[in-house]
Amino acid sequence: MATSQAAMTRPNSDEYAPYYEKYVSLVAPGDITATLNQQLGSTLILLRGIDETRAGGRYAPGKWSIKELVGHLIDTERIFSYRALRFARNDKTPLSGFEQDDYVRDANFDDRLLSELADEFEYVRRSNIQLFKSLSEDAISGRNGELMISKEVMTGEAGGVVRKATS
């Protein structure tokens, strides 16, 4: 039996915490899953065009390498998609935060090939797109009991890629 796909668009400003405005504002209006899919293609082209020797370099001491930045994107996609799943399933358990610098430090992304990280980013993003496509209108709209539902999470992922790429 086919399921109807709900329209997922950028949330209104009253649907997310003010902190996320810096990410949400970077996302073009329209279908969020289409934006995530388009970003996947452009991000992979960008990453696969970077020489492996350059991927471990840093623009300043103490800053993340390109590999660490990509690893951070992968970790963040996973965390935010888990949050979206929890919201969509009406899970009332409080969400914990995460310390991005600890995650990056303990992941050893610089020991991996950038091509492997790009592949992992692709798999995680495709998985997330499928998750978001499967969500019902009730899950997306917050009628499951959460105001800041999956649209915020999805927009945060899309905006996060734009922000990191332009920083």
Whether residue 134 lies inside any domain: the answer is yes
pTM, 2 dp: 0.80
Calpha distance 10→102 (Å, rounded):
30
> Per the structure, how many domains does the chain have?
1
Provide φ and ψ at 9, rounded to 5°.
Answer: -120, 170
Whether residue 9 lies inside any domain: the answer is no
What pLDDT, in 10s, does the model give residues 85-126?
A: 888 888 888 888 889 999 999 999 999 999 999 999 999 999
Residue carrying the six token digits 């660490």:
68
Whether residue 11 lies inside any domain: the answer is no
> Between residues 78 and 83, which one has the greater pLDDT?
78
What pLDDT, in 10s, does the model give residues 33-68?
A: 888 899 899 999 999 999 999 999 999 999 999 999
Domain that holds residue 141: 31-55+64-166
> Between residues 8 and 37, which one has the greater pLDDT?
37
What is the domain-level CATH number for residue 81? 1.20.120.450
What pLDDT, in 10s, does the model give residues 124-156?
A: 999 999 998 888 877 776 554 444 444 445 555
DSSP codes joined into one string, 95-154: PP---HHHHHHHHTGGGS-HHHHHHHHHHHHHHHHHHHHH--HHHHHTTTS-SS-HHHHH
Q: How confident is the model at residue 158 (pLDDT cuts 50, 70, 90)?
A: low
Whether residue 72 lies inside any domain: the answer is yes
Whether residue 18 lies inside any domain: the answer is no
Tokens of 121: 């980013």
